[in-house]
Amino acid sequence: MKHILSLSIILLALAGCSAEPEATKEAAIRIDGERAILSEPDKATFLKVAAVERDKGGMLRLPGRLVWNEEKTVRVFPQLGGRVQRIAVDVGNPVKIKQPLAILSSPDYGQALADARKARADAQVATQALERSRLLREAGVLAEKDWQLAEAAAVSAKAEAERASRRLAGLGGEGDGSYVVRSPLAGVVVERNLNPGMEFRPDQAAPPLFVITDPASLWIQIDAGEADLAHVKTGQPLLIESRQYPGERFKGVIRHVADFVDPASRAIKVRGEVPNADRRLKGEMFVNALVELPATQALRAPAAAVFLFGDKRFVFVEESAGRYRRQQVLAGSERDGWVDLLEGVQDGDKVVIEGNLHLLKFFKPVVTEGQAAK
């Protein structure tokens, strides 16, 4: 009898172990056409909904990079070959127009200097010869032909002297044969690519000796998408955000919008200008450009509400508690976590934003005409 009682206890214990687990808290779901119906709506805590609403405007955020303002930047290349004797400025130094940047020992400049001196001497000799010819002509002892030749020689010599002097002045050299590299504009030296003793030739491919710019004004290069083209226009104000200055925004303005789409990145190049009088912003910074967008009549919903099923986009619209309709929509552009819904919903509709994929698994896949043909 004891054995029978023990066996009964063991069988009851095994039966308890093999019993089905407690029913899940999720309500049972039944599919009726395009609708998912929950038998126990009060247990649908895994679903969250949000209302479709009109576009309230906002900020379009685009990636950008700060670069030098090319209208206030110059890259200095040597006009003549030579060897660096002395460097007069360093990176970060402010410079004025025609201020010496570096001094080169240049045989080419020496030759230009000699040519200029010879041309001036020839012009002086020709001028003196012309004066003598004038006196002889007035005395009646010089033929008209000889006078004309003397006059032409003087004019030619004077023109050659002026040409050589202008070239010499443009090179910015000194009387001792040193070639002085000078700044063509006022600004700040932001790059230097030479050291004492280096030799340069004007025909060699090399970076500029100096880059000089006015950092009080920067350009911002922005990559805008094709969908953003309607929101970026020349003259439109910008706000600039940088991770280096959290919570601060700097003002700017759009100066140019490209007339073509980059075939590789499918981006549209936009250029803006940013005042930088305090020089807190730096060239080559990565920033965000913000474009203010006005409110429109477009309908929007959280991006999490839209899902792809087959080759179409859908949302689940809550018709009543525990009753959700799978609705095909035409989705537009996405911004700040919201997506435009061009067709399929109405203002005030409640759409599922969390748990929609759980509902979706009870529906059969959508078969397109192309897939059916296969």
Q: What is the token pair recorded at 48?
A: 């969250």
Q: Which CATH class is domain 60-71+214-293?
A: mainly beta
d(CA 137, CA 343): 99
The partner residues of 191 in beta bridges, in order of sequence, read 211
Would you list the domain boundaries of the chain?
A: 29-56+297-373, 60-71+214-293, 108-171
Q: Cβ distance 113 to 177 under 8 Å? A: yes
Long-range CB contact pairs, 241-248, < 8 A, 24+? 241/61, 241/287, 241/288, 241/290, 242/281, 242/285, 242/287, 242/288, 243/286, 244/285, 245/280
Question: CA nearest 154: which of 120, 123, 131, 132?
Answer: 123
CATH architecture for the domain at 108-171: Orthogonal Bundle (1.10)
Q: Is the pLDDT of residue 17 over 90?
A: no
User: 285 φ, ψ to 5°?
Assistant: -70, 140
Give this prediction's pTM: 0.61
More confident site: 138 or 326: 326
What is 29-56+297-373's CATH topology? 2.40.420
Q: Which strand ranges, in their side-by-side order, compose the sheet holding 178-182?
A: 178-182, 100-105, 82-87, 199-200
Report pLDDT digits (tens) over 168-209: 554 554 445 577 888 999 999 999 998 888 887 777 778 899
What confidence tens digit (pLDDT) does each residue in 99-130 have? Answer: 999 888 766 665 566 566 666 666 766 776 67
- Are 215 and 196 in contact by the 8 Å Cβ rule? The answer is no
How confident is residue 162, by pLDDT bands cut at 50, 70 and 90? low
Q: What average pLDDT does the chain have?
A: 80
Residue 93 DSSP SS3: coil
Average pLDDT over residues 241-258: 94
pLDDT band at residue 12 under the 50/70/90 scheme: very low
| Amino acid at position 92, single letter | G
pLDDT, greater one: 297 or 148: 297
